[in-house]
């Protein structure tokens, strides 16, 4: 990677998400060069201006809907012009969707699966070719603890995130023994605008800032899988190994 005193080159896809913004603020404070992609031009421009004030060495922004695979060529050409192959690429876009609707509406299910699995996987495929040629860098994507085991309350979203986890595992296997690293980021529930409608009792909720700090540490330390906060590794270990009859008695 680039010498940290010179600033990392970081590309973030889904830069308007709360977790992405919190991570970007940390990278900006370290003098990183940043390339941002998101759908909302007004929000993207505000974020870019803020990051420049926070110390980013350079900030470039590109407006695109990453669910539309036809734009990927233009997005990556803009990334190449801004950074070349970045030291870190973070895929941070996604949506919770509506499980009740998705369970009954195939089109709603398709949208949730596309945004949370198909589109990130297509983007990562394109990024992987560049990282492979460079022989270095970190490909990171935000999945979720929801992908660890299918649950009635969110199995469409969970299936998409579980698929992305498997995709990342395959990429990691592909790049084993090379300079390219692959990081699977699995947050538990995070208090963000995307989850504002959800009750905050019962489960331990994390802030976007806590998750972002964990992401930067995981990137720096070369981690492969990050559960954030840390205790979700052990919670999900227990849930994954519950016998099916007992698991089915729980309403999770």
Question: Which CATH number belongs to the domain containing residue 97 in this structure?
Answer: 3.40.50.720
pLDDT of residue 5: 41
pTM: 0.92
Q: Outline where the chain has alpha helix (H).
A: 18-29, 41-53, 72-83, 99-102, 106-113, 119-134, 155-174, 208-221, 232-241, 244-249
Tokens 């498997």 sit on residue: 166
DSSP 8-class letter at 222: T
231 token code pair? 């205790």
Is 157 in the active site? yes
Q: What is the spatial distance between Cα 156 and Cα 104, in angstroms, rounded to a whole number?
A: 11
Residue 139 in this model has a pLDDT that exceeds 70: yes
Residue range(s) defining the domain that contains residue 90: 4-249
Say which of 157, 167, 227, 232 is annotated catalytic.
Answer: 157
**Quick one: which of 23, 15, 8, 9 has its CA closest to 185?**
23
The structural domain count of the chain equals 1
Confidence of residue 4 (pLDDT cuts 50, 70, 90): very low
Q: Is 86 helix (H, G, I), strand (E, B) or coil?
A: coil
Average pLDDT in the chain: 93
| Residue length of the chain | 252
Determine contact, residues 134/188, Cβ cutoff 8 Å: no
């Amino acid at each position: 990677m680039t010498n940290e005193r010179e600033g990392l080159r970081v590309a973030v896809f889904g830069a308007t998400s709360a977790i992405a913004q919190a991570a970007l603020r940390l990278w900006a404070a370290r003098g990183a060069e940043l390339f941002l992609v998101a759908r909302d031009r007004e929000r993207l421009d505000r974020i870019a201006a803020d990051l420049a004030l926070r110390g980013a060495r350079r900030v470039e922004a590109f407006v695109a809907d990453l669910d539309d695979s036809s734009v990927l060529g233009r997005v990556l050409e803009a990334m190449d012009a801004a950074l070349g192959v970045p030291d870190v690429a973070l895929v941070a876009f996604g949506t919770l969707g509506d499980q009740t609707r998705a369970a009954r509406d195939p089109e709603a299910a398709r949208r949730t699966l596309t945004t949370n699995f198909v589109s990130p996987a297509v983007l990562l495929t394109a990024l992987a070719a560049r990282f492979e040629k460079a022989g270095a860098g970190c490909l990171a994507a935000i999945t979720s603890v929801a992908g660890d085991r299918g649950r009635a309350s969110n199995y469409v979203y969970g299936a998409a995130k579980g698929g992305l986890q498997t995709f990342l595992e395959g990429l990691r296997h592909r790049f084993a023994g090379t300079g390219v690293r692959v990081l699977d980021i699995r947050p538990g529930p995070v208090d963000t605008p995307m989850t504002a409608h959800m009750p905050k009792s019962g489960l331990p909720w994390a802030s976007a800032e806590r998750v972002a700090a964990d992401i930067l540490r995981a990137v720096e330390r070369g981690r492969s899988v990050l559960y954030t906060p840390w205790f979700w590794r052990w919670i999900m270990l227990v849930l994954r190994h519950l016998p099916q009859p007992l698991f089915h008695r729980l309403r999770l």
